[in-house]
Structures are given as C-alpha cells and as structure tokens.
Structure 1
C-alpha cells in the first residue's frame, strides 16, 4: 500500500500536493539536521573524558625547556681516590718483635701504618720520612738518623683501614751519635732496663711509644 493518499478538498489537487511536498521537505531537513548533530566531530564518544596519553604541545615545550642535569662534582672536603693522604688520617704504630730480650739479643724495630679515611690514598713511607728513636726516660739512646745514608722516598697506596708494616731493622743495643758511626759505641744497660721505641713517618702524628725490656 502506498504511504500517500490522493488529496481531497475544495482546493485544486495541485495545491494539496505542494503542501505535502513542503511538509515532506521539512521532515527531511529535520532528519538531516539530527543526523548531522549526532555524527559531527566532537560529539558522542569522541568527547569522552579519557585523557590522551600522548604529550600535549605545551608539555613537549616544557620538557624541551628543562635543562639537562649537570655532572655531579664531589664536595671540596670529600677525599679523592688515590690522592695524597691527609696526614691527619694516617695512624702510625711502633712495633718490636718481642716485649723482652735476652742478653745480647737485638730488638727488631718496625712500624705499621694505617689510612683511616674512606678511600685509598698515597703516602710517602720512605726512609726520608722515617725516624726511629730508642729512649729510656728522658734519655735518648739511639736514633735511625745518626748514621743513615742513602735515604729514599717510597710513596705507597694505602687502602682504607688496612695496616701495612715496614721491614724490621735491628738495634745493636748501643748508644748512637753522628760522631760514632765508624767507632765503638757504649752499650745500653741491660738487667731488665726499660726502653721505649718511638716512630714518626712524615707529617703523621708520632706513634704511641712501645715499651720493651733489655736483660
């Protein structure tokens, strides 16, 4: 069956057809407008509130404007690996191989040195920096400087908190002086006499004296 009827009324038939045509065109225009509003860009799902994961032009500009991080520089008071040791961080210990010596037995004198900082550093432990003295009370009996020849420098790397020991040198139990290097020297007293070994190495604090007995 057709959707449209023949027009009926006092007016000519063409008038009624024109009226229907106008109404039909209006209905079509309304339908077209509704379809346009529904399907236009930005309507419906396209306007959802989900953020775009890609960076906006403003964000890109801000990121480009951010300065690159500068390389970190250690503070001036932070020790540098392998640099010269700070003498304040160097500890020297005086060492004898025994606490008591039999008559005629020569004490073997040495020292240990320790870097107490948190990084390794270099320190001169050569004979140019070493000083051994043997004392009894206020009396000095022997000094490694009195007849020393050919002193040399010996920089070594000191690891943190790792003690390193020197090669021992013998004390012949005599009283030394720079004037008696090639002559006989008087012997130090024995019979249980107490002596102290003192050691310094460069600018580090002197070692605490170590006591020993000569019998």
Structure 2
C-alpha cells in the first residue's frame, strides 16, 4: 500500500503525499500556537472578585517596604507627649492645678420668715348663682429662694368674706370650725400649698351662733389669712 498505483506516473503520487503531509504538519503547528496564545492571555488577565467592580485587581497582602510609614523620630515623640499634657482650662496661671471647694451639705429647712410668705384668696369662678356653693381656695406660697417650714394648721388658715367695700364682716371659715393642733409643712420655693372649701352663702360670727342668714345677691370681697398674715382681696359676685 506504500507504493503508489494508478494511471499516472509514481512521481505525481509522491508529490501529492508530500503536500498532504506538509499540510498536516503546518496544521498541527498552527493549532499548538493558537492554544499556547490562549493559555498565556488567560494567565496575564486581572484577578477579579466575585462581588466587586469588574475592574478591581486583587491588592497585595502587604505594602512594599517603601510604602510603610516611617517610625517617628525621638523629637516627634517628645512633641506629641508635650501636646498631650493637661489643658490650660485645668491649670492655674501659676502652673498648679486648680481645685474647687467641696459643696457644703445643706441642713434641714429653717422656719419660714413672714417676709417670704404670701397668702392669696382665689374664688373658683368670678360669679355664682344664688343657691350654689361657691368654691373658695387659700394659697400659701414661699417666695424665697430656699425651702422652709411653716405651721399651716387649720386654726391659722382663714378665708374671710366682707361687703365689697370691706366695711362689714359677713363670714369666716374659722367661726364654726377652728380645731387645735400644729401642721408644719415644708414649702418649696414658688410651689403653692392649696386649701379649698365651699361657702354655703350664709353669714356667720365668732362662736358660731345658731342664727345665720343668707346673703343677698351682689359683689363681695374675699380675703385670705394665715395667722397674722393677710393677703390682697379677691372679688366674688352672687347673681339672682
């Protein structure tokens, strides 16, 4: 099968075989070159992450020695130490640290002086109809700067009603009810103590006589008292 057979001369068949063999060799060489080129280009491409930008290249595990910061010199360390010292706000001009005196613990509240106590009468409404029981309030206020104590017992608290001009006394909350006893309370500055009652709209007198009359419609003055302290008048109107 090696010897060429056919109608043509043998030399023709040998040339054909040589050309075919040469073509095979060239094809093998080209194929090997193409495969080598593909493998080389894949190795030289960037290393891509799985979730970042496709253009990111993996960074080296540690920076080169030329990129590492140099250790601070002894003079730089001395400067940093000096700058981290105590701030001027905590140092006195003489160079010694400032010290604040310890707060003095406050003792128990002292009794309130009359000068820091205000007494105020306050009707629940400016006017009431005849037959209603007007609400009256007594306010005791500490207008000083520190808490203090004061006896505000029932025998000292008083609401007084007079005619509008103050000429005639008509009723007092203490005429028929003034129990004995002491009721000391601590009054904080500006926080009033409030006491309230309802007036039946009738007159009274010291000793609480049985005979009591209903007042007429009109305007009346209401005054608050705490012992010897008397507050400014407030006004209440009773309408028919």
TM range (shorter): 0.5 to 0.7
TM-score normalised by L of structure 2: 0.52
Deviations 1:149-183 (A, max 9, x none): 423321111111122211x11111111123554x3
Provide the secondary structure at the position in 2 that maps to 1:160: coil
Does residue 183 of structure 2 align to residue 159 of structure 1? no
Matches within 5 A, 1:1-215: 82-136=109-163, 137=165, 138-166=167-195, 168-178=196-206, 180-181=208-209, 183-190=210-217, 193-204=218-229, 206-215=230-239
What is the CA distance between 1:91 and its match in structure 2?
A: 0.9
Contact 1:124 1:202 in 2 (8 A): no
Contact 1:132 1:143 in 2 (8 A): yes
Distance 1:195 1:80, change over 3 A: farther
Equivalent-residue separation in structure 1 for 2:182 and 2:222 (angstroms): 22
Stretches of 4+ aligned residues off by more than 3 angstroms: 178-181
| Number of residue equivalences | 136
Equivalent-residue separation in structure 2 for 1:112 and 1:124 (angstroms): 14
Equivalent-residue separation in structure 2 for 1:88 and 1:203 (angstroms): 12
Contact 1:87 1:203 in 2 (8 A): no
Equivalent-residue separation in structure 1 for 2:149 and 2:226 (angstroms): 13
**Structure 1, gaps ≥5 residues long:** 1-70, 74-78
TM-score normalised by L of structure 1: 0.57
Equivalent-residue separation in structure 2 for 1:126 and 1:214 (angstroms): 30
**Structure 2, gaps ≥5 residues long:** 1-101
Equivalent-residue separation in structure 2 for 1:116 and 1:178 (angstroms): 32
Q: Which has the larger radius of gyration?
A: 2
Equivalent-residue separation in structure 2 for 1:111 and 1:180 (angstroms): 21
What is the CA distance between 1:207 and its match in structure 2?
A: 1.1
Aligned residues: CA RMSD: 2.4
